[in-house]
Amino acid sequence: MKKYVIGLDYGSDSVRAVMIDAQNGAELASEVFWYPRWKAQKFCKPAINQFRQHPLDHIEGLEHTISSVMEQSGVSPETVKGICIDTTGSSPMPVTKDGTALACVKGFEENPNAMMVLWKDHTAVKEANEINELARNWGGVDYTMFEGGIYSSEWFWAKILHVAREDKEVIDAAHTWMEHCDFITYLLADEKDLKAFKRSRCAAGHKAMWHESWGGLPDKEFLSKLDPYLASLRDDLYEETFTSNEIAGHLNEEWADKLGLTTNTVIAVGTFDAHAGAVGAKVDHHALVRVMGTSTCDIMVSSNEAVGDRTVKGICGQVDGSVIPGMVGLEAGQSAFGDVLAWFKSVLQWPIDNLVLNSKVLSEVQKEELKAEVESKFIRALAEQAEGIPLSESVPVALDWVNGRRTPDANQELKSAISGISLGTKAPHIFKSLVNAICFGAKMIVDRFEEEGVKIETVIGIGGVARKSPFIMQTLANVLNMPIKVAESDQAPALGAAIYAAVASGIYENVIEASKVMGSDFEAEYFPQSSQVEVYAKLLEEYKQLGSFVEEQTNKNK
């Protein structure tokens, strides 16, 4: 009998499902669902870095995508052996005692504080600073030591603390909080005891200061010094965590009926998208996997023996089993990557959106045609002209911190800057400076890993940017001065989730074995161009100088 598995990948803008043949990794069907409330930018206030998502976007997407791949593939429900969910993170949400998302409870449907606090929400900068101050000075364990030594406003405890101080009604109504990957897994599984439910090791270790050396989550004494609510919440969270090769439960009857599946289908423990993506891209020793989308997550694996007792400073955590069980997963990343270019596009497109498309001269059909043409050609035309600018021609120097800095040394209070603009500076020059900036940000991450003794021999790119922009990928190879492979799969995180599902359902013995068979091949490889490597090295120094100046001024103004 054929055996199939489903990977469900929740991104910032959409969720996609893939149906995978577990015997060879072939993709039988895929489906994408764009979040309607998020697309309308409901519950978001970019001016204050508030980005919330309604769980109904995710629940509706779950039903639509899996039902669709079942219909497209035509496979028998009995042959679908497992499902695994990966999501963005840290993206926690409050839930009631029966596991219902609070935003789905009457009276909270329109309250942003009752919704999922998306990874890119930076409303908790003040709270993150308090956590860091306490961790360094309270006299006990530094609970940030395995998370790079700096706790981020993008993460679990800071976000909950911010909501607790802002909205007592939400806190009083919430029984506990769940990461997005845990919530969707819980929704599907037949295990409904919240306390016993298997939470993600990946989410807890990288974002919630969970570590087995101190018995799990930070102790109540530490949390109470931040806020009594956090100490009381700890009792309603979890002690143990689990890797995604393990079974969280089986598909419950309600969702088996909705999706056209059976209750024999295994539901694996949830995980984060980048970590699943690394598995989908066949991550191995000394390889850095860059999941390149709106932001980046950079993932590596290492043996416990190689890491030893060493803690890598300024990254987003080192967690045993967060990528491959039995190995230490190391995470870093940039808070904005594709978002840097999307921001510039939105700035340039303002006259089109507000003047041309509001014109009474053009018909509605003409407006739609113009909008579609601009959408399809905008970035491509900029990239083509930017690529044609010789390195000898002056371009501005820019920073990639439009959404703060994640790694190295998280600081979400930092802002971007551009210097060196003249009357000769045109849109392609600025675009090129922004491409340089996101590549220089990547170089800073690679340098930090190597400074800390973590060797990198090759880079693997996955995601839309990696597959669609040769200009960015060649620039990145030149800046890093190392080859970059690009994974063939459009859906590497979903594929990685499917690999976890195959192991949890017993089709393969372990994740490494499964990824060798099911993981993505590579479609392209970019090599450094020796004539440009030295030039980019000099430009990198200008990036560092501008960054040092901006960071110094930011610290002075605190």
CA 366 and chain centroid, separation = 37
d(CA 412, CA 392): 34
Q: Which amino acid is at 423?
A: L
pLDDT at 381 exceeding the cut of 90: yes
**Strand 287-292 with 458-462, pairing:** parallel
317 contacts 203 by C-beta, under 8 angstroms: no
Distances (CA, A) of 126 to 106, 163, 415, 506, 548: 31, 12, 16, 45, 22
Closest CA to 29 of 71, 66, 73: 73
At residue 264, the pLDDT reads 98
75 contacts 49 by C-beta, under 8 angstroms: no
Burial class of residue 222 (count of CB atoms within 10 Å of its CB; 0-12, 13-18, 19+): buried
Helix (H, G, I), strand (E, B), or coil: what is residue 154? coil
d(CA 457, CA 358): 52
d(CA 368, CA 514): 46
Least confident window among 110-124, 242-256, 289-303: 289-303
pLDDT at 535 exceeding the cut of 80: yes
pLDDT at 268 exceeding the cut of 90: yes
At residue 202, the pLDDT reads 98
What would the two tokens of residue 211 be?
A: 């570590």
**pLDDT tens, 438-483?**
999 999 999 999 999 899 999 999 988 898 899 999 999 999 999 9
d(CA 457, CA 543): 24
pLDDT band at 387; cut points 50, 70, 90: very high
Average pLDDT for residues 14-33, to the nearest whole number?
A: 97
What share of the chain has pLDDT > 70, as a percent? 100
What is the 8-class DSSP label of residue 88? -
d(CA 2, CA 20): 11
Burial class of residue 513 (count of CB atoms within 10 Å of its CB; 0-12, 13-18, 19+): middle
Rounded to the nearest 5 degrees, what angle is found at the Cα of 165, between the Cα atoms of 160 and 168? 95
Q: Where are the domains of the chain?
A: 336-454+529-555
Average pLDDT for residues 474-499, to the nearest whole number?
A: 95
pLDDT at 375 exceeding the cut of 90: no
Closest CA to 118 of 63, 179, 162, 174: 179
What is the 8-class DSSP label of residue 318? E
280 contacts 494 by C-beta, under 8 angstroms: yes
pLDDT at 537 exceeding the cut of 90: yes
**Strand 484-487 with 458-462, pairing:** parallel
pLDDT band at 540; cut points 50, 70, 90: very high
2 contacts 79 by C-beta, under 8 angstroms: yes
24 contacts 516 by C-beta, under 8 angstroms: no
**pLDDT tens, 149-160?**
999 999 999 999
pLDDT band at 361; cut points 50, 70, 90: confident
At residue 114, the pLDDT reads 98
d(CA 545, CA 530): 24
d(CA 233, CA 240): 16
pLDDT band at 372; cut points 50, 70, 90: confident
pLDDT at 355 exceeding the cut of 90: no
Closest CA to 317 of 335, 298, 331, 304: 331
Average pLDDT for residues 247-275, to the nearest whole number?
A: 97
Full-prediction pTM beyond 0.85?
yes
The position carrying tokens 């973590």 is: 454
- C-alpha radius of gyration, the chain, whole number: 23
Instruction: State the architecture of 336-454+529-555 in CATH terms.
Output: Up-down Bundle (1.20)
pLDDT band at 49; cut points 50, 70, 90: very high
Average pLDDT for residues 344-369, to the nearest whole number?
A: 89
pLDDT at 308 exceeding the cut of 90: no
Distances (CA, A) of 468 to 124, 280, 420, 474, 533: 34, 18, 29, 12, 22
pLDDT band at 505; cut points 50, 70, 90: very high
The position carrying tokens 């609510």 is: 229
At residue 24, the pLDDT reads 94
d(CA 131, CA 133): 6
**pLDDT tens, 162-175?**
999 999 999 999 99
d(CA 338, CA 461): 13
At residue 371, the pLDDT reads 85
pLDDT at 391 exceeding the cut of 90: no
The whole-chain average pLDDT of the chain stands at 95
Side-chain half-sphere CA neighbours of 121 within 13 A: 30
pLDDT at 306 exceeding the cut of 90: no
Helix (H, G, I), strand (E, B), or coil: what is residue 75? coil
49 contacts 42 by C-beta, under 8 angstroms: no
Residues in the chain: 558
Helix (H, G, I), strand (E, B), or coil: what is residue 449? helix
**pLDDT tens, 94-143?**
999 999 999 999 999 999 999 999 999 999 999 999 999 999 999 999 99
Average pLDDT for residues 269-282, to the nearest whole number?
A: 96
264 contacts 258 by C-beta, under 8 angstroms: no
Average pLDDT for residues 395-407, to the nearest whole number?
A: 95
**Strand 484-487 with 247-250, pairing:** unpaired
